Amino acid sequence: MDYVLWKEPGENTSMNFEKFTIKSQEALQKSAEIAMGLQQQAIEPGHVLKAIFETDENVTAYLIKKLAVNTGVLQTRLEELLNSYPKVSGQQPYLSSATNTLLQQAEKELREFKDQYIAVEHLLLALLAGKDKAAQVMRDVGFERTGLLKAIKELRGGSSVTDQNAEAKYKSLERYSKNLNELAKKGKIDPVIGRDEEIRQLLQNPFTQNEITQSF
């Protein structure tokens, strides 16, 4: 099924929503929540990057460790970037042109890996390939494509993304993963399973601020 990704009011393009893993869907949902929380209309790559770190504690932790990324500097720089985005209250949110390009690049990364679904690591590779400030932040703190690709291959251990829960099945995550059941009990996880329609609507229709707030 195709859905519409709103990049600017009046302009749109199509992408297959079903190609996203549950984790990458969750990141997209969170990126909208972050933008709206900051009273920002456009959902930018910086929002997506922060959302990935907030919604995925296993894949990103593994990759950051492998790349020796300075997490303290990353957090500071990312917050500065998010705060630099224009604030517009009461307007319809949309995916910016840069974020639309990011998702198209993620689909290209999927084809390079010969995967079936767009996973968190495809989003990270696409973010790093961008020409925006979020990509620069990543490069400044230690992300680089060759090292990231190598870390992803080690992470996967030869496996491919063949279903929407692929990230949870990477063997290399066993010694890095946390007890998700315990995190859920503490209220630190907001499962996206069963909420596909909410995310589909976010990417398909321009909402009013109240509608977005109620959706989340």
- pTM for the full predicted model: 0.77
Residue 13: beta bridge partners? 5
58 vs 155, residue with greater confidence? 155
The string of pLDDT tens digits covering residues 135-187 is 999 999 999 999 999 999 999 988 899 999 988 888 655 544 454 445 555 66
The string of pLDDT tens digits covering residues 85-138 is 999 877 777 899 999 999 999 999 999 999 999 999 999 999 999 999 999 999
Half-sphere exposure of 189 (CA within 13 A, CB side): 15
* CA 131/CA 96 separation, integer angstroms: 13
The whole-number pLDDT of residue 214 equals 36
* CA 51/CA 33 separation, integer angstroms: 9
Which CATH superfamily groups domain 2-177? Clp, N-terminal domain (1.10.1780.10)
207 vs 97, residue with greater confidence? 97
The whole-number pLDDT of residue 87 equals 93
Confidence label for 8 from pLDDT (cuts 50, 70 and 90): low
Give me the phi and psi of 58, to 5 degrees please. Answer: -110, -60
184 vs 36, residue with greater confidence? 36
The pLDDT of residue 6 is above 60: no
Cα 97 to chain centroid distance, Å, stands at 16
Residue spans of the domains in the chain: they are 2-177
* CA 179/CA 166 separation, integer angstroms: 17
* CA 106/CA 127 separation, integer angstroms: 8
The whole-number pLDDT of residue 208 equals 35
The whole-number pLDDT of residue 211 equals 38
The whole-number pLDDT of residue 142 equals 96
The string of pLDDT tens digits covering residues 17-26 is 788 999 999 9
Confidence label for 203 from pLDDT (cuts 50, 70 and 90): low
